[in-house]
Amino acid sequence: MLHLTIEFSGGAELLFGNVKKHQVELNNDTKWTIRELLVWIKDNLLKHKPEMFLQDETIRPGILILVNDSDWDLLGNLSYELNDNDNVTFISTLHGG
């Protein structure tokens, strides 16, 4: 199994029943990239308003993604292949200033 810690902050947690930290296990028969993870999150964790989280099959612009505290822009974005015990953080920049 692939063990991941998924965290939401900056207001993104409001889409996930106000729960900031989620421990999840994924079946690792196939490889998991962020692309597949986003769809899995939409189907399994997201409580409402999918359009506030995904747009055109990627993350909605304005939500930042970090993997193990590194900007996903440095890691190949959607095609980053997840490893066991990765920590994936989503931070919304779109909420209240």
Partner 1 sequence: MPVNCIRCNQNRAILKRPKTGDAMCKECFFFVFEEEIHKTITDAKLFKPGEKIGIGASGGKDSTVLAYVLKTLNERYNYGVELVLLSVDEGITGYRDDSLESVKRNQIEYNLPLKVITYEELYGWTMDEIVKKVGRKNNCTFCGVFRRQALDRGGLILGVNKLVTGHNADDIAETIFMNILRGDIGRLQRCTSITTGNEGAIPRCKPFKYTYEKEIVMYAYFKKLDYFSTECVYSPNAYRGNARMFIKDLEAIRARSIIDIIHSGEKLAVKKDAKLPIQGTCERCGYISSMNLCKACNLLEGLNKGLPKLGIGKTDRLRKQYNLSPAYSLNSSMANLSLKSSQLSLNSEKDCNCDCGENSEKSCSNQAKNSNNQLNNKLETIVDLNF
- Nearest Cα to 28, choosing from 82, 69, 70, 94? 82
Smaller CB distance to partner 1: residue 71 or 84? 71
Q: Please select the residue that binds partner 1; options are 5, 11, 26, 33, rule is CB under 8 A.
A: 11
Residue 89 CB burial class (10 angstroms; 0-12, 13-18, ≥19): buried
**Does 28 engage in binding with partner 1 (CB under 8 A)?**
no
Helix (H) or strand (E) holding 35: helix 34-44
CB of 76 to partner 1, least distance (A): 9
Smaller CB distance to partner 1: residue 25 or 69? 69
Residues at the site binding partner 1, with contacts judged by CB under 8 A: 9-11, 14, 61-62, 64, 66, 69-71, 73-74, 91-97
